Amino acid sequence: MTNLPVTQTFADFIAAATWDGLPESVQQAARRTFGNCVALAVGASQSDPVRRVGRSLAGLGQPEHASILGHETRTGVEAAALVNGFAAHLEDFDDTHLRTVVHPGAPIVPAALALAEYKGLDGRAMLTAIAVGIEVALRFGNGICPEHFDRGWHLTGTAGHVGAAAAAGRVVGLKPEQLVVAIGLGATTASGLTAALGTMTKPYHPGKAAADGVQAALLAADGFTGPPQPIEGRRGLAQLSSSRHDFDTMLDGLGDVWEIEANAFKPYACGIVSHAVIDAAIALREQVADGVELTHVEIEVNPVVLDVMGVKNPVDGLGTKFSVYHCFAIGFLEGLGGPEQFGDSRARRADVVSLRDRVRVTTDARIPKGAAHVVAHLAGGQSSVEIEVPNATGSAERPMSDEQLREKARLVASPVLGQDLDHFLDIAFTIDEHDPAALLALATSAAR
């Protein structure tokens, strides 16, 4: 609890923001987050889990109000937000704010997109809402991390709920006092267990956050009432869900320092904390002659890596995304870490399984989260090779360039979009100059 009016300050900030008032670096961060998110949702749209979720919700009967990316059939606004949020996070290939391990795109972009489509907003107004919703989610996360995460909460679900409600509230034009109610509804529905990692329930978290955010905004628009301090109050979300609740950190420099600028993009389709291990494996591959076997591999990382990525013997694609052992194996064997390297077939391939079994991981809290130290022992002449990766590709220190990010988006969306791909990417990464309807027309044409 605090005397700082955290929720009210967030609400005023959300209501007052304008696109032209955002620094160019923030505008570009928002464009990148949007483009990456919708490309991933399109890319995963034909997968079995996304089809299942869409089918289950369709079974409840849906009006044709909003688009599911990659599908021609329209659905309800909440359902569209849910399916798109689920799809965007399914491959664990989305954006990450490393300090909080929030993936802000998947819960927040689909909420704003579905409502913007339904309400006929232009791209600029929608992207403004996304920028401020993400900012609120990440700042909330900054104030409760890492204790909130350590307790077992999946921040993309919890902080995602707060941010999705904030963004959706801005899309429907809520006044500050209504935004307090919407944020309160986001906080009171905030949820998500990290026990769900490696199952379909994990990407359900941002999907649910997006859908609940839509509902929060619509209720708040019609005179709903809620607690005045849902985040910072005595029984607000911060106190309930974390032993640390630093409200100064949540508000420090709001509007001047933008957390969305620290939103990083993944070059590899798995948990971000092992990206340095893949970088190391790829570097190692370049140093070891073809045909030379690795007898065993020692990897040293921060303890969070084994916490999140500790699956020793994954049996399916989803499981491999949480296996640092698998990350090393595919990086070394293939030099890549895309969705294919984390698919079901790779999980059981003999050479992958065999190499995973030769990897030993130890942890040291002094090693930064984004770093890795790898020593590979070789069969034959050369005794061992040592690789040090201080910062992973895609980290805040080594961010993907705009070109790299577009290339990644192209890679994930191309199996679905075909000839519309370039036009789709042009609009996705400059959505502030377009109507969301133009993007959605392309993104739903695949099924036609």
Residues that bind a copy of itself (CB under 8 A): 49, 52-53, 55-57, 59-63, 65, 76-78, 151-153, 157, 181, 184-185, 187-196, 199-201, 204-205, 208, 212, 214-215, 218-219, 221-227, 229-230, 233-237, 239-240, 318
Task: Show the beta-strand stretches assigned E in 286-422.
Answer: 294-301, 359-363, 372-378, 384-389
Least spacing, CB of residue 2 vs a copy of itself, in Å = 14
CB of 392 to a copy of itself, least distance (A): 25
One-letter amino acid of 35 = G
SS3 (DSSP) at 74:
strand
Which residue number, 193 or 447, has a Cβ lying nearer to a copy of itself? 193
List, in sequence order, every beta strand (DSSP E) within 193-308. 263-265, 294-301
Distance of CA 95 to the CA centre of its chain: 4
Least Å from the CB of residue 214 to a copy of itself: 8
- Closer CB to a copy of itself, 49 or 255, in the complex: 49
The nearest distance, CB 200 to a copy of itself, in angstroms, is 5
How many CB atoms sit inside 10 A of residue 81's CB? 35
Closest to a copy of itself by CB, 90 or 282? 90
For residue 63, the minimal CB distance to a copy of itself (Å) is 3
State which residue, 56 or 362, has the beta carbon closest to a copy of itself. Answer: 56
Which is nearer to a copy of itself, 77 or 137 (by Cβ)?
77
Closest CA to 270 of 312, 195, 322: 322
Closer to a copy of itself by CB, 110 or 192: give it: 192
Q: Which is nearer to a copy of itself, 33 or 62 (CB)?
A: 62
Of 430, 434, 438, the residue nearest 409 (C-alpha): 430
Which residue type occupies 264? A
d(CA 417, CA 412): 10
> Which backbone phi and psi does 317 adopt, to 5 degrees?
-55, -45
Nearer CB in complex with a copy of itself: 141/233? 233
Q: At 352, phi and psi to the nearest 5?
A: -70, -50
Q: Are 167 and 108 in contact (CB under 8 A)?
A: yes
- Residue 71 C-beta: closest distance to a copy of itself, Å: 16
Task: Give min distance, CB of 4 to a copy of itself, in A.
Answer: 16
**Cross-strand bridge partners of residue 296:** 377
CB of 376 to a copy of itself, least distance (A): 31
Q: Which is nearer to a copy of itself, 181 or 282 (CB)?
A: 181
* Closest to 165 measured CA to CA, from 90, 239, 81, 87: 81
Residues belonging to the chain: 448
Cβ neighbours for 234, distance < 8 A, ≥ 6 positions apart: 1
Q: Residue 388: beta bridge partners?
A: 373
Task: Give the CA distances from residue 372 to residues 28, 47, 100, in Å, rounded to whole numbers and listed in that order.
Answer: 30, 32, 19
CB of 61 to a copy of itself, least distance (A): 3
CB of 85 to a copy of itself, least distance (A): 14
Contacts 24+ apart (CB under 8 A), 419-423: 420/445, 420/446
**Between residues 85 and 267, which has the closer beta carbon with respect to a copy of itself?**
85
**Residue 361: beta bridge partners?**
299
- Cα dihedral value 275, 281, 285, 287, nearest 10: 110
Q: Token pair of 92, please?
A: 């664990």
Q: Tell me the two tokens of residue 198.
A: 């490696």
